[in-house]
Amino acid sequence: MESDRLLSTDAESLPTLPMLTRRSTAKSDLTLAPPPATEEKKNVDSDEMQRKKKRIAQATDLLLDVAMTTTFASLLDGTPVSDGKSLASFICLFALVWWTWASQVTYNARFREYDWIHRVFLCFQLLIFCAFAAFTNGFDITAGIVNDTVGETLKTLRKVEGWPQLTANAQASREAQIPISSVRGIAMTMAFSRALLFAQYLHALFYFKESKAKSAFYVHTFTLIISFACYFASFFCISSNPDEVTKGDQIAKVCLWYAPIFLELAAHFLAAHLSEDKEFKEMWYDEEIIYERSGSVFIIILGAGLDKITEGFHYLVGNPAFGPRRVGVIFSAGLIFICLFSLYFTKVRGRPLSSEQKKKRDEGEDSESCRVANRRVLLYFFLNFLYLCSIIVTLQGMAAMIQFGNVGDNMQTAFHFMRTSEHHLNKTNFVDPLNASIYKEDLVHKLSETGYDINDLVNDINRGIEISPDWNVTFAPFRILLLDGLGILTEGLQNTDALPTEQDSILTNEIDAFMDSDLSDVNKTQFIRIAQMVATSNATPALWFFSAGGAVLVMLAVLGLISHTDELNGYIFAQMAGRLTLGTVMLLLTALDVNAIAVQITMDYRFYGSRIWRLASQNWILPPYAAVLTLEQGYEYVLMYLSQNAVDAAA
């Protein structure tokens, strides 16, 4: 009874409880002991639940990243970067894909729960990326805006190749329809993605009662309604009939596609401003999710780029010119890839925050610091788009440089054979037959590796010398030499997978038309023009490789400054200065591209023009960039060591 009275007293009598416990029986001790144990069990269960939710979050986020990257891989295949127009088309389409992913990540970083409705949303999001993958083939952002004579050129070439008129017309109609279908499909996919995100924000809105919080939601939902209307309107702006699509329609399409992205970007910063007070902390962007997703998609895109690069490795090994220089190219490419990966994750220790500063930041007590951090996370995440574009163009340039090394070897083999043969024909006035002994052993070996026997080539040309008068064709042996030379070049391109297989490829149709021409129509000027097309179509990425490579380092410096604002010190400044300096040096190397557009092949079958083309044809583009990245990585490792020692000494 005494025990009961003590337990029922007011708060002033509570200090007597410990004495009561000591006077109680063993049974009473057992009765009072469970509460702390139960509380501890609840904490353990809560921690386990949080870990489980985090594992689910990582799995679902990774699934979203993989879906986006699958679309990215389809984009690489459907829109290969080979010239300025294809580069612009690739970046424009990647912007739509990336924004669809990024806008979903920014929602997940604030409002995503692990309930059934968000699982349904995830399924629809995966369908959106699958739809993107279906519409990436043949996309051209300049279609209908820039005057394009490809259709007429293909029509003329196919006539020379002997295509039946009905077949040629049907193929031309299909090729004209594909870009229109892609544009309309992309427009509806983007419209559906905006509608899905709008539904998610409406779902999250029901959990917030504060009017100021709702105003931030209204910003998002209002801009998403505008975006949906723009993409939906662009679908009807582009007619399903290619003949009815005007230049104005195509320009309107571009405006309707990209204006909503900038509008939604501004909406995120405005919504962050409206919800920057501590009571709206649940609406702040989760830094951990933002940084994790940025790193995850970087790794996946880097892996997709590596896949493209390694495709050319086995062609290097099988190339007749394979040797120590080719091994150096493979080593340089691997070193560049490793450095790009490690530089992104190299973290120099900055000025450590005090325990009080950390507590205020984590609990939202330092309102100004939290507001700045919220905007900084947004800026970091959105600027990642520019960094990813630089990485993609750099990786595409690496793949193209490796491929062009193979193309350059094949061209040199064909050109060497043609120079030797033409010199003998001119010297003997097309009278004396050729002999296999006039060709160097190294050339004979390379021709054999390509699949050509020197005796067969010589006999083919000599046949023109023997019966040339009967053919009523002037310089018949020389014309046969041009056909054989292009045949050697084409075979080399096919062996190294450098010849486009698409039926709408101008280069492939030019080669076919040349090989199918009457002997009297074969001429050297046409051969030189086709050879120049082979060179430029494979090596054009060299023109922007150093620019993209320098932009990678510059953007790394910018992102590093943004993410380390709270802990800037001398070591971080030194790291960013190193990246900016070497990035600027790489950008200055674009001076090698001066007059690169004027590259040409001379009448004696030699490259002439900008130095960048000669470097590209001999695989001397990648080693300098590998050296720059290695130097920067070594420099940052030293800074990491020094900064860690400084932090340890301060502790």
Per-residue confidence (pLDDT) for residue 7, from 0 to 100: 38
For every residue of 1-39, which 3-state class applies, written as one string?
Answer: CHHHHHHCCCHHHHHHHHHHHHHCCHHHHHHHCHHHHHH
SS3 607: strand
Q: Which stretches within 500-541 are classed as H helix?
A: 506-516, 524-539
pLDDT at 556: 94
Q: In the prediction, which pLDDT does 278 show?
A: 64
Q: Is the dihedral of CA 258, 261, 265, 271 positive or negative?
A: positive
Measured distance CA(296)–CA(292) in Å, rounded: 6
Which pLDDT score is estimated for 613?
67
Whole-angstrom Cα distance, residue 630 to residue 625? Answer: 9
Task: Give the separation between CA 462 and CA 427, rounded to whole angstroms.
Answer: 15
d(C-alpha 99, C-alpha 268), whole Å: 13
The pLDDT score that the predictor gives to residue 353 is: 61
pLDDT for 117-133, tens place per residue? 888 888 899 899 888 88
Three-state SS sequence of 337-369: HHHHHHHHHCCCCCCCCCHHHHHHHHHCCCHHH
Convert the pLDDT of each residue in 463-483 to its tens digit: 887 765 555 556 788 889 999
To the nearest 10 degrees (0 to 180), the angle between helices 506-516 and 150-161 is 30
In the numeric block, which tokens belong to residue 391? 């990485």
Cα end-to-end span (Å), the chain: 57
Give yes or no for a contact between 507 and 80, defined as CB atoms under 8 angstroms apart.
Answer: no
Cα(292)–Cα(47) distance, integer angstroms: 21
Q: Within 13 Å of residue 206, how many CA atoms lie on the same side as its CB?
A: 4
Q: What is the pLDDT of residue 80?
A: 73
CA 540 from chain centre, in angstroms, equals 17
Here the tokens at position 281 are 């902390």
Give every residue of the chain whose pLDDT is below 50, as ranges.
1-33
| pTM, entire model | 0.83
Q: Where are the domains of the chain?
A: 2-38, 60-284
